[in-house]
Amino acid sequence: MNTEALSAYLQIHLSLKHSLDDKTMMNDRVCKIIRMLQKIIKKFIFLTKSSNWARDFWNQSCFEVVMKSRWLQIIWKTQDILEAWNEYLKHNDHKNKIIWQTKCTHFRSQMHELSEALKLIWCFAKWARIESQLFKKLSQFSSLKRSDIDHMITTFEKKIKILQEKFFSSSS
Q: What is the pLDDT of residues 80-122, one digit of tens each?
A: 899 999 999 999 999 999 999 999 999 888 877 777 776 666 7
pTM over 0.75? The answer is no
Q: How far is CA 13 from the centre of its chain?
A: 38
Cα separation of 80 and 8, whole Å? 60
Confidence band, pLDDT 50/70/90 cuts, at residue 75: very high
Question: How do residues 4-22 score in pLDDT, each as one tens digit?
Answer: 776 676 666 666 555 556 6
Burial of 92-120, coded b for 16+ CB within 10 Å and e otherwise, reads beebeebbeebeeeeeeeeeeebeeeeee
Cα separation of 114 and 123, whole Å? 9
Rg (Cα) of the chain, in Å, rounded?
30
| SS3 call for 5 | helix
Q: Using CB atoms within 10 A of its CB, is residue 90 exposed (0-12), middle (13-18) or buried (19+)?
A: exposed
Are 159 and 153 in contact, with CB atoms under 8 Å apart?
yes
